[in-house]
Amino acid sequence: MTCEVVVYNIVSALRAQEGGADRIELCDNPAEGGTTPSFGMIEQVRQNISMDVYVMLRPRGGDFCYNNYEFHIMKRDLFQCQRLSVDGLVFGILNEDGSLDKKRCKELIAIARPLKVTCHRAFDMTRDPFEALEDCIEVGFDRILTSGQRLKAIDGLDLITELVKKANGRIAIMAGSGVNEDTVTQIVNTTKVNDIHFSATVFKDSIMQFRNPHIAAMGDDAGSEFLTRSVDPERVRRIRSLAENAML
């Protein structure tokens, strides 16, 4: 079982490694589903993490249909990631009709080699998952991250199971979204995936002693500037143990 933990800051990366993750997916902007992190972040994580580091190539939130400027940004980010010695890239580009943009994906993969490449959950926004599966194999992706085209993987079990069968070892299928202590056993047992993607999130209270009582979250009542997102190493261990037991 391969356990990938998605992280959004260096402390989370360190905690994921402490918990025994096999690799991390390094992103920025969790509220937008993940975008490309800064190069300072990538460099610091790479220098302090011994496990595999995969970096998200996504120039913005929203859909996965990019204009020429955005595609050029992705290529430039890819070159910088190579210079920083990451182990893999995570991306996905779609056409307006909901099919995989094979031309652009293939171009990025060719540039990225010999790094590993994962098609992220842009896959879940495609018009036909089985068409997209074959397209991902054709262009050279090593892995597909999917929730079975549902909000959470636990709701997409039937499709994930079919994808694993149809992939037949030609590409890895990794289940993600809502993978946690309550769902991982059923997900792994049902789908037979060998890769899982999860966050094991915990929020830590800020160390700030002074807190302006007249403003929160720069105008948002949530007050999230006093919460720091991190990873719970114990949760990583529990989820891994449950996943491995489900494979027996």
- Considering its fold, how many domains does the chain have in total? 1
206: pLDDT strictly greater than 90 = no
Q: What is the pLDDT of residue 208?
A: 86
Kindly provide the residue ranges of all beta strands, DSSP E only, lying in the chain, ordered along the sequence. Answer: 2-7, 23-26, 52-56, 88-91, 116-119, 143-146, 172-176, 195-198, 201-205, 227-231
**Alpha-carbon span 20 to 155, nearest angstrom:** 27
Q: Give the residue-averaged pLDDT of 129-139.
A: 98
Identify the three-state secondary structure at position 10: helix
Residues 246, 187: Cα–Cα separation, whole Å: 9
Can you tell me the mean pLDDT for 135-148?
98
pLDDT at site 218? 61
Give tens-digit pLDDT for 86-118.
Answer: 999 999 999 999 999 999 999 999 999 999 999
pLDDT single digits (tens) 144-177: 999 999 999 999 999 999 999 999 999 999 999 9
Domain containing 83 equals 2-246
Q: How confident is residue 219, by pLDDT bands cut at 50, 70 and 90? A: low
| Residue 170, domain CATH | 3.20.20.380
* Helix and strand totals (H; E) in the chain: 8, 10
Q: Is the pTM of this model over 0.85?
A: yes
